Amino acid sequence: MTVYGILFYLLAAAVVAATAVAITRRNLVHAVVYLIFSYFGTAMLFYLFGAPLLAALEVIIYAGAIMVLFLFVVMMIKVEAPEEYLFPVRQWIPAAFFGAVYLAAGCAMIFASPGNEAALRMLLATPREFGLYVFQNHWFSIEVISLLLLLALVGALRLGRGKHRTGDQV
């Protein structure tokens, strides 16, 4: 067990813990903040796995952009937290049950497959080669994703902008 191993387990524990706490917060703001922690953890994991660029992007985009967007929305709509009935029984009991079964099955499955015991070696993908790789092999997907982002932009615009008027029309 190397120091990296210990690091991995610590981070994993942190991520899981942060996520678990996040999804049980009644207050959305708290939830989002805890989730940001979990994303930081994930970013470190990426770094540990030798993907520094992805780690950076994770922090910037996920923790930075996306979660902040969440926060922004939550703030913008001043939602009274207690309105939500946290974990209705009819939802979380079956969810928990299936989750448990799922985890059991997942473990069984992961450890059943022989290939998975392969120990991971330390590797490093420098941003340079990563970028090169992406733009050599996947610029088709990049084009598509750009179109997707554009479309998302348009969609968000339309859905956000027209709503009052459409709302009035009804």
Partner 1 sequence: MKWMIAAPEMYYFSAALWFLLLSFSGKPRAKRENMTALGLAAVGVLVCLASVWSDGYLFIKAFRADMFSQVFKVLLSLGLFLIVCICGNISEIGERRLHDFYFLLFTCTLALMLLVSADHLLSIYISLELSSYSLYVLVALRRDPRFGLEAGIKYFLIGTFASAVMLFGMALLYSAGHETYLTKMTRALAEIIDQPMVIIGLLFTLGGFFFKLAVFPFHFWAPDTYQGAANQVAAYIATVSKVAAIAVIVRVVAFTGQGSTYLVHALVMLSVVSMTVGNLAAIVQKDLKRLLAFSTVAHSGYVLIGILALSPAGYTGAVFYALALLLMKFTAFLVLVALADDGRNIQIEELAGLHRRSPILALALMVSLFSLAGIPPTIGFTGKFLIFIAAIEKGYLTLVIIAMINVVISLYYYLLVIKAAYLLEPITEPAPLRVSYPIRLLAGTSVAAIILAGFAPYWLIQVAQAAV
Partner 2 sequence: MIVPFSHVLLLAAVLFGLGIFCAVARRNLIMIVLGIEIMLNAASIAFVGAALRWGDLEGQVFVLFILAVAATEVSVGLAVIVYAFRRTGSFDPGAFNLLK
Partner 3 sequence: MISFSAECATLTALLLTTFPPFLAFLVTMVLTRSRPILSAKLSIGAVSLSLACSIFLLVLRWGQPEPVQFSFRLLASSGVDVPFGFLVDPLSVLMLVIVAAISFLVQVYSLGYMAGDPGFSRYYSFMSLFAWAMLSMTVSLSILQLYIFWELVGLASYLLIGFWYEKFSASQAGKKAFVMTRTGDVAFFLGILTVLLNLGNLSIPEMNGPAAGGMPQSILTLSAILIFGGIIGKSAQFPLLTWLPDAMEGPTPVSALLHSATMVAAGVYLFARLFPFFSLSPTAMSFFLGIGTISMLLASTMAIVSRDIKRVWAYSTISQLGLMIMALGAGGYFAGVFHLTTHAGFKALLFLCSGVMIHQYQTNDIYELSRLGCSRMKVPILTITLAAAALSGLPPLSGFFSKEAVLGELAGLSNPVWLCAGLAGVFLTAYYSFRVIFILFSPPPDAKPVDIDAGSQHPDHGDTHHEAHYRFMAVPLIILAAVTVALGYVGEPLRAFLTGGGTLGGVHEEGFALSHLVALGLAAGGMILAWLEFGRPGAKQIGIVERIPPLNRLFAERWYIDHFYRKIVDVLVDRGIAYLCWKNDNKVIDGTIDGMGKGTVESGRLMASLQSGMIQYRMLAIFAVMVFLSLYFLFQQI
The binder of partner 1 chosen from 10, 75, 109, 132 (CB under 8 A): 109
Phi/psi of residue 50, nearest 5 degrees: 85, 35
C-alpha span between 70 and 61 (Å, rounded): 12
16 is a site residue for partner 2 (CB under 8 A) = yes
Q: Give min distance, CB of 95 to partner 3, in A.
A: 6
Site residues (CB under 8 A) for partner 1, limited to 129-168: 136-141, 144-145, 147-148, 150-152, 154-155, 158-159, 162-163, 166-167
38 is a site residue for partner 2 (CB under 8 A) = yes
Residue 1 CA neighbour count, 13 Å, CB half: 6
The binder of partner 3 chosen from 10, 13, 69, 108 (CB under 8 A): 108
Report how far apart the first and last C-alpha atoms of the chain are (Å, whole number).
Answer: 65
Q: Give min distance, CB of 69 to partner 2, in A.
A: 6
C-alpha span between 134 and 12 (Å, rounded): 28
The binder of partner 3 chosen from 112, 118, 119, 122 (CB under 8 A): 112
77: left (phi over 0), alpha (psi -120 to 50) or beta: beta
Q: Which residues bind partner 3 (CB under 8 A)?
A: 91, 94-95, 98, 101-102, 105-106, 108-109, 112
